[in-house]
Amino acid sequence: MEREYIVPLRRKVHNVPQYKRAKKAIKVLKEFIAKHMKVEGRDLNKVKVDRFLNNEIWFRGIKKPPAKIKVKAIKDGEGIVRVELAEIPEKVKFDMEREKKRAEKVKPTKKKGKEEKPESKGEEKEGEEEKEKEKAVVEAGLKAQKEQAKEAKHTAKGVHGKTTAPVRKALKK
């Protein structure tokens, strides 16, 4: 089921302090959608607000959310209602497209990594053994560094033993 609503936010939002208004606007939106989309038990956890809708409400800051907002509510078979902007501004469209491009770039790299697998099991075992040896060498080096740092810390002078007070020649007569 899919419906469009113009949700009035002003009346409920103006009854709270300024520093809580955007948060209250989100809550009012969820309550409105839960009521009108007949969410079971009016459970606000079953109303999911789209990230771009959330950003649109918070856009002018916490103190000045919009007075009303036009949304599209989509109810799936499980009783969860997804709410998104009905009329998407150009800036938001641009951001959505940019995100899609980023997601497309990331997906092929993951697929390539999965496709390239060693052919024989013997090669896999050798590769794993080499990796384990490298890790052991790195860990041993880190342990040695920690021990040296501990020793330097507990010596009488430690790192600060070499520093001396500067000689002030300008003030001497």
CA distances from 116 to 100, 119, 140 (A): 25, 9, 32
Q: How confident is the model at residue 149 (pLDDT cuts 50, 70, 90)?
A: confident
- In three-state form (DSSP H/G/I as H, E/B as E, the rest C), the secondary structure along 65-106 is CCCEEEEEEEECCCCCEEEEECCCCHHHHHHHHHHHHHHHHH
| pTM for this prediction | 0.59
Superfamily of domain 2-88: Ribosomal protein L31 (3.10.440.10)
3-state helix, strand, coil in the chain (%, to 5): 60, 15, 30
What would the two tokens of residue 108 be?
């092929």
Q: Could you give the angle at the alpha carbon of 53 between the alpha carbons of 47 and 58, nearest 5°?
A: 110
Q: pLDDT at residue 143 above 80? A: yes
pLDDT at 159: 56
